[in-house]
């Protein structure tokens, strides 16, 4: 039976910012990779269908570049994810049912961004039966992400930058974290914590080991 990894991303680009390295790592471990983009970005507080369609094309290019098998779009509206949690839980549960993953990566529950926090909370409910659950870091102003799990992403770092370049609208200039220099410093800082040159950091929420000795 194939092993499956799912990344749940509040916005298109969070899957790259937090998990581009993990996606490559688990692909090499033989996992099929799936991504759930929960919401569409709202520009200046209004829905712009052309921008949404363009972003979806970028997501497809990222999926091809990173070897993601399938992307599920829940098509919720950005900036409205903290209205009613059940509206976020239900579409994520549907993706969980469709994919039936072994490992799921979810946003950090203490993130300063309210959309990221809502998706993280919804994921904890929707992923209650998932054997292995990690939260990932979306670099930004959040100051209390406390990782306890690191992956060496040195060999994948250039690919992470190349994937982020597909989302050219989301790139900013340093010291914004969504800049090549910003992502490099975050990867090196997480590397300093773990004896690596470049690392992605996560928090292990839950891991279930099944017995092979029945
Ligand atoms: Zn985001």
User: Does residue 214 lie within any of the structural domains?
Assistant: no
Q: Residue 69: is its pLDDT beyond 90?
A: yes
Q: Residue 126: is its pLDDT beyond 80?
A: yes
User: Does residue 192 lie within any of the structural domains?
Assistant: yes
How far apart are the CA of 161 and the centre of ligand 1, in A? 17
Element (H, E) at 97: helix 85-99
Return residues with CB closer than 5 A to ligand 1 (ion): 10-11, 14
Q: Residue 170: is its pLDDT beyond 90?
A: no
How far apart are the CA of 98 and the centre of ligand 1, in A? 23
Query: Domain span at residue 61?
Result: 3-207
- Residue 81 is predicted with a pLDDT of 85
Of the pLDDT bands very low, low, confident and very high (cuts 50, 70, 90), residue 70 is very high
User: Does residue 213 lie within any of the structural domains?
Assistant: no
How far apart are the CA of 14 and the centre of ligand 1, in A? 5
- Residue 160 is predicted with a pLDDT of 98
Tens-digit pLDDT profile for residues 132-160: 999 999 998 888 899 999 999 999 999 99
User: Does residue 212 lie within any of the structural domains?
Assistant: no
Q: Residue 214: is its pLDDT beyond 80?
A: no
Q: What is the mean pLDDT of residues 103-117?
A: 95
- In terms of Cβ atoms closer than 10 Å to its own Cβ (0-12, 13-18, 19+), residue 85 is middle
| Other beta carbons within 10 Å of 114 | 13
Residue with tokens 């039966």: 129
Q: What is the mean pLDDT of residues 76-91?
A: 91
Q: DSSP secondary-structure letter at 46?
A: B
How many domains does the structure of the chain reveal?
A: 1
How far apart are the CA of 207 and the centre of ligand 1, in A? 25
Q: In what order do the strands lie in the sheet with 149-152?
A: 70-77, 31-40, 3-9, 103-106, 132-136, 199-207, 149-152
Q: Computed from CA positions of residues 200, 111, 207, 71, in that sequence, does the dihedral angle turn out positive or negative?
A: negative
How far apart are the CA of 13 and the centre of ligand 1, in A? 7
Task: Name the more confident of 41 and 43.
Answer: 41
Of the pLDDT bands very low, low, confident and very high (cuts 50, 70, 90), residue 2 is confident
- Those residues whose C-beta lies under 8 Å from the C-beta of residue 119, and which sit 6 or more positions away, are 8, 10, 38, 39, 81, 88, 92, 106, 107
How far apart are the CA of 1 and the centre of ligand 1, in A? 32
How far apart are the CA of 214 and the centre of ligand 1, in A? 43
User: Does residue 131 lie within any of the structural domains?
Assistant: yes
**CATH number, domain containing residue 124:** 3.40.50.10320
Of the listed ranges 18-22, 65-69, 134-138, 142-146, the least confidently predicted one is 142-146
């Amino acid at each position: 039976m194939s092993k499956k990894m799912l990344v749940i991303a509040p916005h298109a680009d969070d899957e790259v910012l937090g998990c581009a390295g993990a996606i490559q790592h688990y692909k090499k471990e033989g996992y099929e990779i799936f991504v759930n983009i929960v919401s569409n970005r709202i520009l200046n507080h209004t829905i712009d269908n052309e921008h949404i369609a363009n972003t979806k094309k970028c997501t497809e290019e990222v999926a091809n570049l990173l070897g993601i098998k399938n992307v599920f779009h829940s098509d919720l509206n950005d900036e409205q994810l903290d209205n009613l949690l059940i509206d976020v839980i239900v579409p994520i549960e549907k993706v969980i049912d469709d994919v039936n993953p072994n490992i799921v990566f979810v946003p950090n529950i203490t993130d300063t961004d309210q959309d990221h926090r809502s998706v993280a909370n919804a994921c904890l409910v929707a992923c209650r039966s998932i054997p292995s659950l990690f939260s990932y870091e979306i670099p930004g102003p959040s100051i209390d992400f406390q990782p306890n799990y690191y992956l060496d992403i040195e060999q994948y770092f250039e690919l992470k930058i190349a994937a982020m370049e597909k989302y050219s609208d989301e790139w900013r200039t340093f010291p914004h974290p969504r800049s090549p220099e910003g992502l490099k410093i975050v990867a090196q800082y997480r590397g300093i914590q773990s004896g690596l040159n470049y690392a992605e950091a996560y928090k292990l929420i839950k891991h279930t080991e099944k017995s092979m000795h029945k």
